Amino acid sequence: ALDHDCDFHVNTSNDAWYDESAERELVHLQTRFRAIETRRSLARVSNTGLSGVIDPLGREVAMLTCDGRHRSVSGQVSARVPVGGPDSALRVFVCRHSGLVLMLLTVLGLLHAAFFKSRPQPGLGEHLFS
């Protein structure tokens, strides 16, 4: 999406799997971090979870609320999705170069595993054979 310079993201989610547990808030929090990571606003729509609009800094612009509840409510939210502005020019390095970062972390993980697998650990298991 960033290669095409989108204005905002849309996230649809089926949170009915989580019943009334805290996972709904966790999914919503992860969505807020995605907005911060990409510096894009995000409109989140969920059938039983939290629905609303999040700005590029992770702040909630609007939330679907009914009788003070945010979860398992039906209705609609009318909000202006923030686009543009100075924050839209910023990009997190990891977001722009995610393929490179993933490859680097994979290589580092393989090197770490190879180094520690081939190197004997002094003192490990000595008490078993004495």
| 61-109 pLDDT tens trace | 988 878 877 677 777 888 888 887 544 445 666 667 778 878 999 999 9
Domain that holds residue 24: 2-89
pLDDT score recorded for residue 109: 92
Residues 6+ apart with CB under 8 A from 130: none
- Rounded to an integer, the average pLDDT of 16-28 is 79
Separation of alpha carbons 68 and 115, rounded Å = 55
Domain-embedded: residue 126:
no
- Rounded to an integer, the average pLDDT of 41-53 is 86
Let me know: does 69 contact 63? Beta carbons within 8 Å.
no
30, 40, 41, 105, 112 from 108: Cα distances, Å: 26, 30, 33, 5, 6
pLDDT surpasses 70 at 6: yes
Domain-embedded: residue 127:
no
Domain-embedded: residue 39:
yes
- φ and ψ of 81, to 5 deg: -80, 120
pLDDT surpasses 90 at 115: no
- Rounded to an integer, the average pLDDT of 19-42 is 84
Separation of alpha carbons 51 and 65, rounded Å = 9
Domain-embedded: residue 101:
yes
Domain-embedded: residue 7:
yes
Separation of alpha carbons 11 and 33, rounded Å = 13
Q: Are residues 42 and 97 in the same domain?
A: no
Helix (H) or strand (E) holding 12: strand 8-13
Domain-embedded: residue 18:
yes
Can you give the pTM of this predicted structure? 0.62
Instruction: State how many domains the chain has.
Output: 2
Q: Which two tokens stand for residue 115?
A: 């180094």
Handedness of CA 110, 113, 117, 118 (dihedral sign): positive
